[in-house]
Amino acid sequence: MSKNQEFVKFDKVDKSYDGKVLVVKDLNLDIAEGEFITMLGPSGSGKTTCLMMLAGFETPTNGEIFLDKNPISNIPPHKRGIGMVFQNYALFPHMTVYENLAFPLKVRKINKDDIDKKVDKALSMVSLSGFENRMPGQLSGGQQQRVAVARALVFDPQVVLMDEPLGALDKNLRESMQYEIKHIHESIGVTVVYVTHDQSEALTMSNRIAVFNDGKVQQLSSPDKLYEEPVNSFVAEFIGENNTFAGEVTNFQKDQCKVKLSNGSEIIANPISVSSNGDRTTVSLRPERALINTKNKMDNNFKGKIEEVIYHGDHTRVRIDLLGNKEFILKVPNSSSNMDIKMGNEINVSWNSHDARALDPK
Amino acid sequence: MSSETGKILTTDGIPLEVSLKKAERKNKIKAFLLVAPLLLFLLITYIFPIGDMLMRSVDDKMVTEMLPKTFKSMEKWDGNEMPPEEVFEAFYLDFQKLVEEKRDGKLSTQLNYTKNGFKSILKKLRRKAKNFEEGNYKEQIMAVHKRWADVEYWRAIKRRAPAFTSAKYLKGMDMYKNEEGEIVSVEEDRRIHRVLWLRTLEIAFFVTLLCFLMAYPIAHLLATLPMKYSNLLMICVLLPFWTSLLVRTASWMILLQQQGVVNDFFVMIGLVADDNRPEMMYNKTGTYVAMTQILLPFMVLPLYSVMKTISPSLMRAGKSLGGTPFITFWKVYFPLTIPGIGAGCLLVFILAIGYYITPALVGGASGTLISNQIAFHMKSTLDWSFASAMGLMLLAGVLAIYWVYNKLVGIDNIKLG
């Protein structure tokens, strides 16, 4: 069975609340059936607005949203059949866990026996069997979260939306819930649209990530591609750690270019969004791609002075003054050969030009 | 745990409980001193007056003290036949003393409450008693007026012997103790208080209902509108609060009278004929309209404070789960507002049941409430003990409502803010 690649489709969607500022600008986004897609972005980037438009709580100012090829802008939220997990869970505080889960089934006039079965199944899915008669107030945050997930799934919706569902949990719980939600998604194959501002959450859970900024999707790709091959400096900056050099393209070739930095030195970089000599650019380099005192042959080799050393156990973060950038970060794996890293030492730093991506200037 | 290990001791060997009490004693004293003025205030202005009211409403010592000898001699009298000579003698002596002290007027008023007809025969007795000879008072008194020879009147005197009475409470319910000591209702056409009680309950109930119906949407709007609009609306709700009650009631009088603004408007739009303007004041309508308006904020504010705490995402959750807007409202939103509804209704009902100024001004004859009757007895008839009795009955009624509410909804479900 081939899956519908355009199960959810945002078609040229604009959204403005006040008629002056566009919160979402010309959004085009296709979500495949069964996909786990994450909308990632800083607050105010328009990701939650997109989710609310999909859920039906906001209407697009322009454009149309399609669900399984049907336009849904004129369908009220309760007829869309989209499950939703809210940021603060939104469990009904006056109902027991059972009643919370039975609510979407009761309004669909499903008979009592089927309701019992479905509620049982949903609760065992989130490993909360036996909690039917508890009130939401008697549950811990993590348990409430699971109930909210179970409630959004219990009526077998086509799409489940999750609006920063783990935002209120502590770090450990958040991580275990991430895996749990991922496993639930894998086992039932429902389409999930997930909104978060936490990049590690997005990277671990999603099939694809849409990075939002300023009302636009900056990049839509799989987590590894997003990290390894950011297409612009916002994405490079937003996802993971990043060292940057600002400069001007001097020797542009198809797969390599030279970038002249403000202190006069030149580095070799991979041209991504530059097209000719004289373009301003920001070169982005992941910390773990730059090595110190390496014996491998690399086409960028420079000397830097260690400014700060922070011990992290499995690795050591080293801040280096390199080519006029005092914030150049290196991650040095913890091994016996790297013991000579000390403040004030001069060390050799090298990287491959392929990993230094010349992106748009900031 | 403590039962296994015995008393837990602090490091110094003092029992933990003792040490804790010692440590907290100072704070407790401080806390008590802080609330002491309030306690004193409550005691003086609330508990003491209510106690005094209670005493006054059952107090019947006046006659007891005026006729001490009579009541003492009546102790042996069974009340079936005419009392013996010593009762007459004692009564004569008591009465002479009262005449000397010029207190016989009060006695005649009091006895007249018990049985009509005492006033004239006491007056006559006073005149004749000057010429009484010593001895055989029974015949001399009985000769003054034929009623003095009627055993009913002597029984009426005996009924006033106890220092405490429930008569005022019975009167408040349009009942009395007849000669046989049974509690019976007064004749149909003389029952005024029962009608008043029922009307008070009825008006309080409907005013509460009207307030609820009007306040719910307002409170919902207040809780959901953006700040700048909700502030304006809040001021509109609170504005009546900042205006004198009397002024508000008076403005309703201007609006509702037959030549008033509302009637003029009705005539203008052709709803009623000019010569057939409806009476909207000095009857129940006026009371309903004015009281509902005045008590509305007391319903809006508790509802608002509860609605404010209901997260809008709950309604969204309900809708996203497939509930129509109505079902979501009914199953999710409404149950969560019940604490506010309870608080608002209880507040409005209790205020309405004891409302005074508004019904007095716009209520007329058919729109006055029990509190107006209380005020009437306080100011006009000066029957303070009766007023006290009715006041306490009102208080008992309110407490009963509170109790029923607690049983039905639970008082901890109340939320005022």
Calculate how close chain B gets to A168, using CA atoms only, in Å: 15
Question: Where does residue B370 rank: exposed (0-12), middle (13-18), buried (19+ CB within 10 A)?
Answer: buried
Q: Do A107 and B325 touch (CB under 8 A)?
A: no
Per-residue pLDDT band at A2 (split at 50, 70, 90): low
Nearest to B153 by CA among B194, B112, B123, B185: B112
Per-residue pLDDT band at B414 (split at 50, 70, 90): low
Q: Do A83 and B311 touch (CB under 8 A)?
A: no
Of A82, A88, A91, the CB nearest to B320: A82
Which chain B residues contact residue A87 at CB under 8 A? 313
**Does the pLDDT at position A154 exceed 50?**
yes
Calculate how close chain A gets to B413, using CA atoms only, in Å: 12
Q: How far is residue B315's CA from residue B334's CA, in Å, rounded to a whole number? A: 11
Q: Do A83 and B320 touch (CB under 8 A)?
A: yes
Calculate how close chain A gets to B315, using CA atoms only, in Å: 9
Residue B326 is predicted with a pLDDT of 92
Helix (H) or strand (E) holding A350: strand A346-351
Residue in chain A closest to B338 (alpha carbons) equals: A94
Average pLDDT in chain A: 84
Residue in chain B closest to A52 (alpha carbons) equals: B316
Average pLDDT of the segment spanning B352-370: 83
Q: Do A92 and B321 touch (CB under 8 A)?
A: no
Nearest to A38 by CA among A214, A176, A239: A239
Q: Are the beta carbons of A191 and A158 closer than 8 angstroms?
A: yes
Helix (H) or strand (E) holding B351: helix B334-353
Of B311, B323, B335, the CB nearest to A107: B323
In chain B the first and final C-alpha atoms are separated, in Å, by 40
Which chain A residues contact residue B323 at CB under 8 A? 78, 103-104, 107
**Which of A51, A54, A78, A96 would you mutate first to test chain B, the one with the most B CBs within 10 A?**
A78
Question: For strand A22-31 and strand A257-261, is the pairing parallel, antiparallel, or unpaired?
Answer: unpaired
Cβ of residue B396 closer than 8 Å to a chain A Cβ? no
CATH of the domain spanning A241-359, picked from 3.20.20.140, 3.40.710.10, 3.90.1150.10, 2.40.50.100: 2.40.50.100
Where do the structural domains in chain B lie, given as residue ranges? 2-58, 61-163, 193-413
Q: How far is residue B252's CA from residue B367's CA, in Å, rounded to a whole number? A: 14
Of A88, A107, A151, the CB nearest to B313: A88
ipTM for this prediction = 0.78
Residue B37 is predicted with a pLDDT of 93
Q: Which two tokens stand for residue B235?
A: 């001021």
Q: How far is residue A346's CA from residue A84's CA, in Å, rounded to a whole number? A: 54
CATH of the domain spanning B193-413, picked from 3.30.70.340, 1.20.1280.50, 2.30.38.10, 1.10.3720.10: 1.10.3720.10
Q: How far is residue A322's CA from residue A301's CA, in Å, rounded to a whole number? A: 11
Average pLDDT of the segment spanning B338-361: 88
Give me Rg for the CA atoms of chain B: 31
Residue B280 is predicted with a pLDDT of 82
Average pLDDT of the segment spanning A264-291: 81
Which chain A residues contact residue B326 at CB under 8 A? none
Which chain A residues contact residue B318 at CB under 8 A? 92, 103
In sequence order, the β-bridge partners of residue A243 are A285
Average pLDDT of the segment spanning B127-153: 83
Average pLDDT of the segment spanning B356-363: 84
Calculate how close chain B gets to A51, using CA atoms only, in Å: 12
Residue B33 is predicted with a pLDDT of 93
**Does the pLDDT at position B40 exceed 90?**
yes
**Does the pLDDT at position B35 exceed 90?**
yes
Query: How many CA atoms does the CB half-sphere of A291 hold within 13 Å?
Result: 12
Alpha helices in B145-283 (DSSP H): 151-159, 167-172, 193-224, 227-238, 245-256, 261-268
Per-residue pLDDT band at B173 (split at 50, 70, 90): confident
Average pLDDT in chain B: 85
Per-residue model confidence as pLDDT tens digits over A334-353: 776 655 777 777 888 888 88
Q: Do B325 and A103 touch (CB under 8 A)?
A: no
* Residue B57 C-alpha from the chain's centroid: 13
Q: How far is residue B286's CA from residue B73's CA, in Å, rounded to a whole number? A: 57
Q: How far is residue A295's CA from residue A291's CA, in Å, rounded to a whole number? A: 10
Residue in chain B closest to A79 (alpha carbons) equals: B322
Per-residue model confidence as pLDDT tens digits over A180-222: 888 888 888 889 999 988 888 888 888 899 988 888 888 888 8
Share of chain A above pLDDT 90, in %: 7
DSSP A334: -
* Residue A252 C-alpha from the chain's centroid: 33
CATH of the domain spanning A8-233, picked from 3.40.190.10, 3.40.50.300, 3.40.640.10, 3.60.40.10: 3.40.50.300
Residue in chain B closest to A82 (alpha carbons) equals: B320
Residue A249 is predicted with a pLDDT of 82
Q: How far is residue B81's CA from residue B378's CA, in Å, rounded to a whole number? A: 39
Going across the sheet that includes A82-85, the strands are A82-85, A159-163, A191-196, A36-40, A208-213, A216-221
Alpha helices in chain A (DSSP H): 47-55, 97-106, 112-125, 141-153, 171-188, 199-205, 223-228, 233-238
Q: Which of residues 115-144 of B touch A (CB under 8 A)?
A: none
Average pLDDT of the segment spanning A125-149: 88
Identify residue A103 by its one-letter amino acid code.
Answer: F
Coil, helix or strand for B158? helix
Residue B178 is predicted with a pLDDT of 74
Residue A68 burial (CB count, 10 A): 14
Report DSSP letters for B67-93, one per residue: SHHHHHHHTT--SSSPPPHHHHHHHHH
Of A84, A103, A151, the CB nearest to B323: A103
Calculate how close chain B gets to A284, using CA atoms only, in Å: 41
Of A77, A78, A90, the CB nearest to B313: A90
Q: Looking at A142-156, B34-48, B153-167, B249-263, which range is the least confident one?
A: B153-167
Residue A1 is predicted with a pLDDT of 44
Q: How far is residue A244's CA from residue A255's CA, in Å, rounded to a whole number? A: 19
Residue in chain A closest to B337 (alpha carbons) equals: A94
Coil, helix or strand for A196? strand
Residue A74 is predicted with a pLDDT of 85
Per-residue pLDDT band at B3 (split at 50, 70, 90): very low
Letter string b/e over residues B48-67, b meaning 16 or more CB atoms within 10 A of that residue's CB: eeeeebeebbbbbebbbebb
Q: Do A86 and B316 touch (CB under 8 A)?
A: yes
Q: How far is residue B202's CA from residue B178's CA, in Å, rounded to a whole number? A: 31
Residues of A with CB under 8 A from a CB of B: 55-57, 76-84, 86-88, 90-94, 103-104, 107-108, 151-152, 155, 161
Of B318, B321, B332, the CB nearest to A155: B321
Question: Which has more confidence, B321 or B9?
Answer: B321
Q: Looking at A208-212, B33-37, B274-278, which range is the least confident one?
A: B274-278
Share of chain A above pLDDT 70, in %: 98
Cβ of residue B226 closer than 8 Å to a chain A Cβ? no
Q: How far is residue A262's CA from residue A169's CA, in Å, rounded to a whole number? A: 45
Where do the structural domains in chain A lie, given as residue ranges? 8-233, 241-359
**Does the pLDDT at position A307 exceed 50?**
yes
Q: Which two tokens stand for residue B209?
A: 């209902």
Q: Do A77 and B331 touch (CB under 8 A)?
A: no
Q: Are the beta carbons of B54 and B164 closer than 8 angstroms?
A: no
Cβ of residue B317 closer than 8 Å to a chain A Cβ? yes
Largest CA distance in chain B: 102
- Please provide residue A277's backbone torsions phi and psi, each rounded to the nearest 5 degrees: -60, 145
Report DSSP letters for A267-288, one per residue: EEEEESS--STT-EEEEEE-GG
Cβ of residue B310 closer than 8 Å to a chain A Cβ? no
Per-residue model confidence as pLDDT tens digits over A22-42: 888 888 888 888 889 999 888
Q: Are the beta carbons of B294 and B248 closer than 8 angstroms?
A: yes
Q: Do A90 and B317 touch (CB under 8 A)?
A: yes
Per-residue model confidence as pLDDT tens digits over B106-133: 888 888 877 888 888 888 888 888 888 8
